[in-house]
Structure 1
Amino acid sequence: MTNKASGVRLRTRIWSILRAIVFICVIVFIWMGMAKTATAFVGIALVMGWVNLFQLRSQEIEKPYYRLWLNFIDGLLQFSVMTSIFVRELILQENTEKLLGVGCTFLLARLIANNLFNLGVLREGKSLPRKRRWSKFANIAVTITMGVYLLNLEDYKQICMVASILLMIASTVAYAYWYYRDPAHRKPLSIASQLTMSRIVLTPFFLWVFFYDNDLDYSNNSLVFKSLALIMVLGFMLTDFLDGKLARAMGEVSTLGKYLDPFSDKISNMTIFMCFIATGYAPVWMVALIYFRESSVETLRTLAASEGLVMPARRSGKWKTALQGVGIIAILVGALDPMAHVIPNYQEFWSIFPTAVMASITAITIISGVDYFVASKHILKKFV
């Protein structure tokens, strides 16, 4: 068994060295101006990375310090390739894409943080965690992004880079959670709670995607980022639906989840509504009323908890959440201008549509708030 493990380790090390040589060739071809040849070698590196991570499973059998150095060298070469692409574009083009520079920064930060944490873990005499799927897919996505930039595929550059950045952030957050939690005192977050947390973590990135072009007029934003904003909102809605279902199905209903779920909903939805204010899709007074209702109900829920009482979810609250989700999706879909060439006078229709949708959302939100307060008179009597 030992000889077999040693043989597998030797193969993975040789494979890793060959992948490093391929990346070095990519850097050379970039500076020689041979973009297509460099792209071909990136394709080879992509296949080799996939085999190394998913077939040979090098991360699971390699010795800790070898694994540390192999990861460092691979990450350093990925950063070097991406930086070479950025610097090359900076020299040859007047308007270099800023997002490429942001991606290089994330790669460097991830490389430094990951290796410092790994070194700290090894010095403490602990075993390194296996690479999770987030980290594996982040490495694959970064390699694909290299090829897209080398081929200068304008329609896919931004979406690939944003996907790579999001995957790098997700893998870093997952690693940080593993590193800082103490198994002796803390239980790992359930899958349902992880889904809930994902909405909180991704909400700031929705804000960035929504205003990527630094222009408050969302209508002239890139179609790629409009589509990405819509996909993120659909992801928010899906995780909101799944976290409760999974918690009940797996018997993982927790006090943390009961408070975290409505909190994450309000964080994500209120952020989206504030984006709508900025771009003119919603008047300030509507969002202010929605905020007033949400904060009032949360205050009521906190008062109930202080008395050891549980304020159950009301059907009106579920209708409110559903309508908010449908309304947000309707506005973001409309912003894509899908029917601009089909519906006559579409722009006139669109000039009132977002405000009408927000008016409906505001009305049901206020009605839901009144319903909660009427149903919670017994809680208010304890304080009034």
Structure 2
Amino acid sequence: MKRPKVSLINLANMLTAFRILSVPFLVYLISIDSGPPGLAGDYGKIVAMFLATAAGITDFVDGLVARRLQVETKLGKFLDPVADKLLVCSLFVLFVADGFVAPWILIVMLFREFLILGLRMHMASEGAVLGASNWAKFKTIFQVSAVVAILLVRSLQVLALSGVMTVAWVSMIYYYQVTQALILVSLLFSVVSGAEYFMEHWHVFKRG
């Protein structure tokens, strides 16, 4: 029995679109001072943390929704990892400027992401879709977790400097260590998943 045609405008794709559309708002909230100069009163950073958390949740929900409602589309399979790259790469660039992420980590990560994006686009031109491997899914989980953890640290800094929470300084030190661990683990999964993609699809490059 032939499967009925699935509309491109469905809940799963809308969740993915939300993740993409959240990126410019996150970049804006993280980049500007929403209060006086400095972090004190800069509650935009806290809004960014909640928005990033919501965007991260959609990353785990959209695929589940697509499978449960049987609304999987080639567009959705293509846009889902692209949305992840836009979200993570854009924010990691800002985190390098803030000193949370070492520049060499960003370089390795961007190199891997652009190579895989090129592979994905090449396969798409041939009518094939490069899905996310298990290693890549773990990479995304740790990257998104690192993003939320870093924004949590910034939010705690805002609350501490604003005099709202005195214990925030202690929490901030603890969560800073957590962010560094998450970043390093995500980098490991990034390298491993990238190598896996190329070993499995090396024939694409040999074919030209």
Listed as ranges, the matches of 1:124-135 within 5 Å are: none
Check if 1:241 corresponds to 2:80: no
CA distance in 2, matches of 1:208, 1:221: 17
Length-normalised TM-score, structure 2: 0.79
Contact 1:324 1:361 survives alignment (8 Å): yes
Between the two proteins, the alignment pairs up a number of residues equal to 194
Contact 1:317 1:368 in 2 (8 A): yes
Higher RCO (C-alpha 8 Å, min separation 6): 2
Secondary structure of the residue aligned to 1:337 is helix
Write out aligned runs for 1:74-93 (5 A): none
In 1, Cα distance between equivalents of 2:168 and 2:80? 40
Change in Cα spacing, 1:381 to 1:282, as seen in structure 2 (3 Å) is: same
Letter in 1 for 2:140: T
1:273 aligns with 2:81: no
AA paired with 1:226? K
* Paired residue secondary structure (1:192): helix
Residue 320 in structure 1 maps to residue 145 in structure 2: no
The answer to whether the 8 Å contact 2:34/2:41 transfers is no
- Partner residue in 1 for 2:161: none
1:358 alignment counterpart: 183
* C-alpha distance in structure 2 between counterparts of 1:361 and 1:314, whole Å: 14
Cα drift, residue 327 of structure 1:
1.6
The offset of 1:336, in angstroms, is 3.1
Provide the rounded CA distance (Å) in 1 between the counterparts of 2:143 and 2:69: 28
Look up the match of 1:291. Answer: 110
Residue 209 of structure 1: CA displacement?
Answer: 1.0
Pairing 1:251–2:53 present: no
Partner residue of 1:210 out of 19, 22, 30: 30
Structure 2 counterpart of 1:282, from 71, 80, 101: 101
> Cα–Cα, structure 1 residues 346 and 190, in superposed 2: closer, same or farther, change >3 Å?
closer
Unaligned runs of 5+ in 1: 1-186
Shift in Å, 1:296: 0.5
AA partner of residue 167 (structure 2): H
Q: Which protein shows a greater Rg? A: 1
* CA distance in 1 between partners of 2:62 and 2:19 (Å): 11
Contact 1:203 1:271 in 2 (8 A): yes
- TM-score for both structures, normalised by structure 1: 0.45
Q: Contact 1:192/1:247 (CA < 8 Å) preserved in 2?
A: yes
1:370 is matched by which residue type in structure 2? Answer: A
Q: Using the alignment, how far apart are the partners of 2:147 and 2:167 within structure 1?
A: 23
Query: For 1:311, what is the secondary structure of its paired residue?
Result: coil
Q: Does the Cα contact within 8 Å between 1:195 and 1:243 map onto a contact in 2?
A: yes
Mapped to 1, the partners of 2:47 and 2:148 lie a distance apart of: 12
For the residues of structure 1 that align with 2:171 and 2:145, how far apart are their CA atoms?
24
Give, in whole Å, the separation in 2 of the partners of 1:221 and 1:300. 44
Q: 1:205 to 1:221 in 2, by over 3 A?
A: farther
Unaligned regions of 5+ residues in structure 2, if any? Answer: 1-6, 158-164
Shift of the alpha carbon at 1:203?
Answer: 0.9
CA separation of 1:188/1:297 partners in 2, compared to 1, >3 Å: closer, same or farther?
closer
Deviation digits for residues 213-241 of structure 1 (CA, Å, limit 9, x no counterpart): 189x9x82535322211101111111111
Match of 1:78 in 2: none
Structure-2 change in CA distance of 1:294 and 1:221 (3 Å): farther
Q: Deviations over 1:18-49 (max 9, x none)?
A: xxxxxxxxxxxxxxxxxxxxxxxxxxxxxxxx
Identity of aligned residues (%): 29
Pick which of 242-251 and 358-367 moved more. Answer: 358-367
Tell me the SS of whatever aligns to 1:379: helix
Q: Is the counterpart of residue 225 in structure 1 residue 44 in structure 2?
A: yes
Q: How many Å separate the matches in 2 of 1:283 and 1:272?
A: 13
Query: SS where residue 207 of structure 2 aligns?
Result: coil
Please give the alpha-carbon distance, in whole angstroms, between the structure 2 residues aligned to 1:344 and 1:252.
46
Q: CA deviation at 1:324?
A: 0.6
**Residue 261 (structure 1) aligns with:** 80
